[in-house]
Amino acid sequence: MITWIKKGVSHLSTIHILAYFKKIPLLNKLLMPGSGLERMLGKVSTPFRNKIRQLIGGIYFETNIYGTKIKMIDYRTYDYYSLFSRGKIHEPALTRQFKTLFEKTNSPTFVDIGAHYGYFTIYAGKLIGSSGQVISIEPHIKFYGCLLKNIEINGLKEIVRTFNLALSDKEGKANMKGWDERVLHEAENGNIQVITFDQLCENEGIRPDIIKIDVHGAEGKVLDGMTDTLKNKVSHLFCELHKNMLGYTNSKIIQILENAGLAVFEFKKHREVSGGELVPISNEFLSNYEDRMLYARRK
């Protein structure tokens, strides 16, 4: 299903496309920032260009996530959210676990670190609503712009607090490079603000209950910058691990969590419908951890 949003229209008109699977990749290639269409629009008059961008920027896909409908604009060809684009659930085991935690936690504060386009941010906002709080953190300015649009089309502007900055073990500046500019590289002349999570929580009065971290190699630095918060506030934490973690080993990351009074497990097969089993940390996990999920909870 593709829905077009137009200003001045009180209802939404829905177009069902028969060649659904063939048209989605082509449509999104045309809409990607930096595409030929975007470059072409740069050559036409500003009013006309803005009207076209307003129209194509209003295309989104809607999926039912365990009984909750969410909408998403995605400028990619669904490298990240391919299941979502086909009406299925992205990272179903992890999503199901969040649903369970949101529903059983009284007025939770959920923090999405490395929010990207906002899949977990939006899902959390829909389930938690005004009874709790959702904090969404995304350093990349292009991803952040899409995140804001997705928050808006889901009616969550009053529910979600957003921050366009990066988290690390100290304050400074950084750039995003590597794997579609998702890897943090600290630099004195960087264009991205860097702060510790402990400092952000103190500055903004944030008291997190549930945290999700997916920062493509900066996991150790993010955790090292939130040791006070981990000790005093966090009840549940999910952290996806990647290779080249900027000098941090798996063992070091687990030590940070255990020193904060958290019990640590592997969250098995978080991208599969049948996944979600919690198992003790094994030696095999310590040596082969790319694209695997850590789960920590208060003892």
pLDDT in tens, 152-211: 999 999 999 999 999 999 999 988 765 556 667 777 778 899 999 999 999 999 999 999
At which residue do the structure tokens 């992205």 appear? 90
Count of CB atoms within 10 A of residue 30's CB?
12
The reported pLDDT for the residue numbered 2 is 44
User: Within 13 Å of residue 244, how many CA atoms lie on the same side as its CB?
Assistant: 6
Asked if 145 and 66 sit in the same domain, the reply is: no
Q: Residue 134 burial by CB count (10 A; 0-12/13-18/19+): exposed, middle or buried?
A: buried
The CA–CA distances, whole Å, from 9 to 13, 25, 98 equal: 9, 28, 35
Asked if 47 and 149 sit in the same domain, the reply is: no
Asked if 78 and 95 sit in the same domain, the reply is: no
pLDDT in tens, 222-269: 999 999 999 989 999 999 998 777 778 888 999 999 999 999 999 999
At which residue do the structure tokens 């208060």 appear? 298
Q: How far apart are CA 63 and CA 90, in angstroms?
A: 10
Q: How far apart are CA 15 and CA 162, in angstroms?
A: 32
Q: How many domains does the chain have?
A: 2
Residue that is last in its domain, among 89, 116, 140: 89
3-state secondary structure 187-215: CCCCCEEEECHHHHHHHHCCCCCEEEECC
The reported pLDDT for the residue numbered 37 is 61
The domain in which residue 80 lies consists of 1-89
Count of CB atoms within 10 A of residue 58's CB?
16
